[in-house]
Amino acid sequence: MVSDTDPVVNADPVVIVGAGLAGLSCARELTRRGCRILLLDAAAEVGGRVRTRKVDGFRIDAGFQVLQLAYPEAQQQLDYAALKLQKFQPGALIRTQGRFVEMADPWRRPQAAFSTLFNGIGTLADRLRLGRLRADVMRGTVDQLLQADDMPLGDFLRQHCHFSEDFICRFLQPWFAGVFLEPDLQTSSTFFRFLFRMFASGDVAVPALGMQEIPKQLAIGINPAEIRLSTVVERVSSDHVILAGGERISAAAVVLAVDGSAAAQLAGEDVCPATGRGTVCLQFAAETAPVRQPVLLLNGDGPEAGPVNNVCVMSNVAADYAPRDQALISVSTCGIPEQDAASLESAVRTQLQQWFGDTVGQWNLLAADRIRFALPLQPAGMLKNLAGFRLSANGVYCCGDSFSSGSIHGAMQSGRLAAEALALTLG
């Protein structure tokens, strides 16, 4: 009998297209099982959407991204100590009606419980409802949580949890619109409940040297000779891939670990939705940080107040994100605003001048990344239909966050599950 840990002996490699978190997790798991692989990616570095580049000595992540330390898959696959994780202060500062108020998690930051209770957002009953929701999502296993009834998040918060409109609009909406990159709260309530549990049960952090340290760590488990970067794949089938330029590579099996829009194109059938949610992330250098705390700042006054959804002084969280005596400020929108780059920058500065004063005019723009496909669509009912990976009609294994959930956890889990299924088939 073949066990799922016996080495797999394959003459042709398993070709994995995409060296994001899903492709890396898949490659690592197959390597661990003794399987020959070849990991291809169009980009010059591993990481996919989780990338960090250096600009004038600042570490610029590709969009505002964080790691929830409670993610079960990250706990299983990553060496947290080696990442030298730098933690955020739990909760957020909300900019509303001309001032900042703190919304802290009283379980994880009890010293801020009193100010949170009387911060003027929502009612006392909302605090009790939040406590009930917290208890509810912490009950049972994560798998049980994912089986719960699903509905659009807005309906869940209003009709199921009965939060007040004020509490939703000034706190829950800006927070989760920023997480899901969609302002209308149409995302699956089940996915929300999973993430709420993650926020409630662990810290949020970034690696000291940038988010790309995560995929780089995953790549350590793969033979460098089995990774080919700057290699665009044009066509795939169950036993070969064709590269741009025409080269044909034979494969024992093929895994597509690309984002939803590339998967829809390469798989040759509707394996997943081709569209996703986007964001623009502007990163500024400043002589002085506008706030001292390593905390997320949220726009609690809605889109009428301007395009900014959230702000974070990244160098307050991880000092190595900026050169000494400088601050790195990350500013994100929810969705892609229609303005061109110059008008968007101007609107962002105008809005943030109201938050931090005229000093914003002296901030130096380091980067403005328009990320069209940041997250897959994640409507209600989605999780029940996703097995983590999919075998397409032409025999290609498809994985990635579009087949799991739009998160670091989802991408890594998806890659591992595809590898386990494939190893059993090959074995």
Ligand X SMILES: Cc1cc2nc3c(=O)[nH]c(=O)nc-3n(C[C@H](O)[C@H](O)[C@H](O)COP(=O)(O)OP(=O)(O)OC[C@H]3O[C@@H](n4cnc5c(N)ncnc54)[C@H](O)[C@@H]3O)c2cc1C
Contacts to ligand X by CB under 6 A: 17-23, 40-43, 48-50, 63, 65-66, 232-233, 257-259, 262, 279, 371, 374-375, 400-401, 406-411
The answer to whether the CB of 242 falls within 8 A of the CB of 233 is yes
- Least distance in Å: CB of 117 to ligand X? 28
Q: Which is nearer to ligand X, 129 or 191 (CB)?
A: 191
- Least distance in Å: CB of 47 to ligand X? 7
Q: Which of 190, 148, 197, 156 is nearest to 173 (CA)?
A: 156
Give the sheet arrangement for strand 204-207, strand by strand.
Answer: 67-68, 204-207, 85-87
- Least distance in Å: CB of 56 to ligand X? 21
Q: Which is nearer to ligand X, 50 or 366 (CB)?
A: 50
Q: Which is nearer to ligand X, 98 or 245 (CB)?
A: 245
DSSP string, 293-332: SS-EEEETT-GGG-SEEEEEEHHHH-GGGS-TT-EEEEEE
- Least distance in Å: CB of 159 to ligand X? 27
Q: Which is nearer to ligand X, 101 or 344 (CB)?
A: 344
Q: 207 CB contacts (<8 Å, ≥6 apart)?
A: 67, 83, 84, 85, 86, 213, 214, 318
Q: Which is nearer to ligand X, 300 or 335 (CB)?
A: 335
Q: Which is nearer to ligand X, 119 or 279 (CB)?
A: 279
Q: Which of 327, 330, 324, 298 is nearest to 315 (CA)?
A: 327
- Least distance in Å: CB of 425 to ligand X? 21
Buried b (16+ CB within 10 A) or exposed e, 129-152: bbeebbebbeeeeeeebbebebbb
- Least distance in Å: CB of 14 to ligand X? 15
